[in-house]
Amino acid sequence: MSESEPWICPTCGAQHAPAAQPPAVCVICADERQWVPPTGQRWTTAAELAASGMRTEVREVEPGLLGIGVDPQLGVGHRGLLVRTAAGNVLWDPPGFLDDAAIAAIRAAGGLRAVSASHPHMYGAIVQCSRVFDAEIVLPVADEGWLMRPDRAVRRWSGSEPLLPGVTLVQCGGHFPGSSVLHWADGADGAGVLCVGDTLFVTPDERRVTFAWSAPNRLPLPARAVRGIVDALEPYAYDRIHGGWWDPVLRHDAKAIVERSARRYVEVLEGDI
């Protein structure tokens, strides 16, 4: 292991600071919102993953939006989204592994102005992306301390943050205090898109969304946090939601569905079943 190569936790996909030896434990996975395998903490590197056959997949999700996924699955299995604009590009929720093919695809799409993420489980290769493309890392103040590979390119924000014309980060809280979404005003043919990671989840029937404090550990989100998410999103127009994975996608009427789903979620928490 070279001291210049970051350690990767294969359970969450986060890159940790280069060192001769890996940390004793991934603190992201030790937190109750994630998990450490019953067999104990494991570590790997990008070189080991590439040698094992891991590859990235890049495909158009909709005009102006590229998805970057990893096969086989790494960490929580999410895929990143590259939002393309005339003023530059933003990479949202980067996966924990980027190969030369993914880097070439990002270059061909115009490179990166900034890289950000919905929450710490999806920080992935965020520092690697920043260094390769000389891009700013934009993360919320509320989640400071969760980036396991600190870097000088990090800029902190809170509340809402306009990154580029038509691209705004919105802090919603819930899963993490800084859990956020990316609002892309020009997406969905100008009707507006939210890229949400798992700040909220599109359900398999693509007719509702739901919420969780911890998805793997089946811990619900309190009613006040769900209401806070809806309140944070209220000022924004959006018709479509892309979550942290290729599917499912909430394709139409997303804002009304979020508000209706939140009301029903709170009713169930309060015993109205």
What are the pLDDT digits (tens) for 110-138?
Answer: 999 999 999 999 999 999 999 999 999 99
Position 71 scores a pLDDT of: 97
Rounded to 5°, angle at Cα 206 from 203 and 208 = 60
Average pLDDT over residues 196-222: 97
Position 4 scores a pLDDT of: 78
What is the total count of domains within the chain?
Answer: 1
**Other beta carbons within 10 Å of 150:** 11
Evaluate whether residue 45 is within a structural domain. no
Evaluate whether residue 260 is within a structural domain. yes
Evaluate whether residue 46 is within a structural domain. no
Evaluate whether residue 213 is within a structural domain. yes
Beta strand extents in the chain (DSSP E only)? 7-8, 15-16, 55-62, 65-71, 80-85, 88-92, 114-116, 136-140, 154-157, 160-164, 167-171, 180-184, 193-197, 201-202, 209-210, 240-243, 249-250
Q: Which of 44, 134, 129 is nearest to 81 (CA)?
A: 129
Range of the structural domain that residue 194 is part of: 7-37+55-269
Evaluate whether residue 1 is within a structural domain. no
CATH number for the domain spanning 76: value is 3.60.15.10
Evaluate whether residue 2 is within a structural domain. no
Question: Considering the entire predicted model, what is its pTM?
Answer: 0.96
Residues in the chain: 273
Average pLDDT over residues 217-240: 98
Average model confidence (pLDDT) for the chain? Answer: 97
Q: Examine the pLDDT at 18 and tell me if it is beyond 70.
A: yes
Q: Examine the pLDDT at 77 and tell me if it is beyond 90.
A: yes
